[in-house]
Amino acid sequence: MTYYQRRRLYRRIYRISLAVFILVLVVGGIVLSNSEPPMTPLIVDFLATKQSAELSEAQLQNLHAVVADQQQEAPLTMRFMSHFLMRRDLFYPHIRALVLYIDGTPYLTVADYGVANQIIAALKKYDGSESEVLAVELEQEVSFRPINVNLFEFSGYDDADSVLQYIANGGVEVISYTIVKGDTLSQIAKNNNSTVERLIADNPYLNNKKYLTIGDQLVINRPEPLVTQYVRVIESRIEQISPVEEYVDNDQLYVGEKKLVEQGVPGERFLTEAVVYRNGIAIERVLQSEEILAEATNDIYYKGVKPLPPQLADSTLIRPVTAYRVTSRFGPRRLGYHSGIDLKMSIGTPVYAAEAGVVKSSGYRGGYGYLVAIDHGNGLETYYGHNSKLLVSVGQRVEKGQKISLSGNSGRSTGPHLHFEIRLNGVAVNPEKYLPF
């Protein structure tokens, strides 16, 4: 039977008993109102005995004084009965409840010692069944102190689960969080056991922002248990050993490049550790012993040792045309690999040298159509294809920004455009690494 079921039962019994008691007093008063000797002292003795556990000395003295006054006037009268029955503290039963204290601060009231014992046991319980528990400690002092409360006005807890839930979410920890790349409010809220609405309420400036800014600070109020549990255990587990990377020099790859040629196989090891948990989260691990179950094999990589091609500063080159629209960029495409960038424009648009140099080629060359190729030195070359007219000749020295041709639609072309290409040591590279288009 739960506390509230008991309370309803006690209330019914008490009301019936009280009604009978009052009825006896009323009937007795009527019958004995003119009789001698007066019965008041007997009633006083009876009630004093019945309520001695709940009446203070001052209350008893007050009761005797009232009765003495009544005795002087008359035997047991209706006036005395009314005065006596109006004493509310004599007719409402009290129960012994328990107040929960955490570090000396009262928080709530529970119905009885059974509930209190369940709470203490749950706070000191650890569910890691496969671990050897060394100690379970509570950071805060948790205690229960008895208190008398009115049975009908008691509003405390009748079950341990509700109290444990209150303890788990009763505190608040305030932290400062710095926004990093990839963060979203929903993910931040989830990671901190909060909600997006709560984050916005705690950080009003977010109402005026459309996007999060990397580096911004958020104030996060996240639930923190009122009682902190520390558990020290000995745990055993199997951990995977990751393959180690092993490198072999390769002169076909540039410095800084690597290529996996043989995938390693992970190993396993058996670990025994001393672990400290704080509210179920491991905060410290100390290795006690280790046993290798299976050795890992290495990942084999080729490591590039080939010197890097000459690098260009962003400001070295200029765009070869001033008015254009990009129609095809560098890299793979449906008809094959594109070695440059295509810039659409009207036939006859002037084309300019991207950098000073010597004309290496000026003439018709297969798919390029009418092509100008300029050697700028240090392995750098630029190509200008599909022209309609060439304005320079082989061996001619040209300056940066000098007009070298007029755009066209010659060679393998699907429409009027300029094919612009950059080569480093004979290898085509992405022009957009060096020029904005």
Place of tokens 């999060």: 212
Give the residue with greater pLDDT, 155 vs 240: 240
Please check whether residue 313 lies inside any domain of the structure.
no
One domain for residues 80 and 114: no
Statement: residue 44 has pLDDT above 50: no
Kindly indicate the confidence band of residue 172, based on its pLDDT and cuts at 50, 70 and 90: low
- Examine the pLDDT at 417 and tell me if it is beyond 60: yes
pLDDT of residue 104: 92
Confidence of residue 381 (pLDDT cuts 50, 70, 90): very high
Q: Please state, for a pLDDT cut of 90, what percent of the chain lies above it.
A: 38
Average pLDDT score over residue span 140-160: 84
In a domain, 242, yes or no: yes
Report, as an integer, the average pLDDT of 60-67.
57
Residue 67 has pLDDT above 60, yes or no: no
Number of domains in the chain: 5
**Is it the case that residue 30 has pLDDT exceeding 80?**
no
Judgement on whether residues 358 and 265 belong to the same structural domain of the protein: no
pLDDT computed for residue 43 by the predictor: 47
Please give the residue range of the domain that contains residue 30: 3-92
Asked if residue 46 has pLDDT above 60, the reply is no
Q: What is the dihedral of CA 199, 201, 205, 206, to 10 degrees?
A: 50
Torsions phi, psi for 410 (to 5 deg)? -85, 165
Q: What is the DSSP letter of 265?
A: -
Structure tokens at 332: 């793979």
Residue of 233 and 307 predicted with greater confidence: 233
The Cα 179–Cα 213 span in angstroms is 7
Residue 301 has pLDDT above 70, yes or no: yes
CATH number at residue 343: 2.70.70.10
> Residue 256 pLDDT > 90, yes or no?
no
Q: How far is 433 from 423, CA to CA, in rounded Å?
A: 12
> Among 67-71, 153-157, 425-429, which is the least confidently predicted range?
67-71
* Residue 302 pLDDT class (50, 70, 90 cuts): very high
CATH code at position 243: 2.20.230.10
The secondary structure of 144-178, three-state, reads: EEEEEEECCCCCCECCHHHHHHHHHHCEEEEEEEE
Note whether 330 and 414 are same-domain residues.
yes
Identify the helix (H) or strand (E) that includes residue 21: helix 3-32
Kindly state whether residues 429 and 334 are assigned to the same domain: yes
Contact between residue 237 and residue 243 where contact means Cβ atoms under 8 Å apart: no
Alpha-carbon dihedral sign for residues 155, 158, 164, 165: negative
Do 16 and 84 lie in a common domain? yes
Bridge partner list, 143: 101
Residue 319 domain-assigned (yes or no):
no
Beta strands in 217-330 (DSSP E): 217-224, 229-241, 245-254, 258-262, 267-278, 281-294, 299-306, 325-328
Please report the pLDDT score of residue 391 as a whole number. Answer: 95
- For the chain, the average pLDDT equals 81
Residue 314, in any domain of the structure = no
Contacting residues for 10 by C-beta, under 8 A, at least 6 apart: 93, 151
Residue 33 is assigned to a structural domain of this protein? yes
Assess if residue 421 is contained within a domain: yes
**Token reading at 96:** 């012994």
Around Cβ 387, how many Cβ atoms within 10 Å? 28
Which of the residue ranges 5-19, 232-246, 348-362 would you say has the lowest mean pLDDT?
Answer: 5-19
Q: Is residue 317 part of a domain?
A: no
Q: How confident is the model at residue 390 (pLDDT cuts 50, 70, 90)?
A: very high
> Exposed, middle or buried by CB within 10 Å (0-12, 13-18, 19+), for 60?
middle
CB 244 within 8 A of CB 264: yes
- Which of 207, 224, 241 finishes a domain? 224
User: For residue 155, is pLDDT > 90?
Assistant: no
Question: What are the residues facing 362 on neighbouring strands?
Answer: 372
Where is the domain boundary, 72, 92, 112?
A: 92
Both 115 and 181 in a single domain?
Answer: no
Q: What confidence category does residue 332 fall into, taking pLDDT thresholds of 50, 70 and 90? A: confident
In a domain, 315, yes or no: no
Give the end of a domain, one of 71, 92, 113. Answer: 92
pLDDT at 117: 93
176 and 260 belong to one structural domain:
no
Q: Which token pair is 388?
A: 């309609």
Read off the tokens for 285.
């691990």
Q: Quick one: pLDDT at residue 9?
A: 65
| 9 and 44 belong to one structural domain | yes
The single-letter code of the amino acid at 374 is I
Per-residue pLDDT band for 24 (boundaries 50, 70, 90) equals confident
Q: Quick count: other Cβ atoms within 10 Å of Cβ 338? A: 18
pLDDT at 63: 55
Most confident range, picked from 49-53, 54-58, 198-202, 237-241: 237-241
How many other CB atoms are found less than 10 A from the CB of residue 156?
Answer: 18
Handedness of CA 414, 417, 422, 423 (dihedral sign): positive
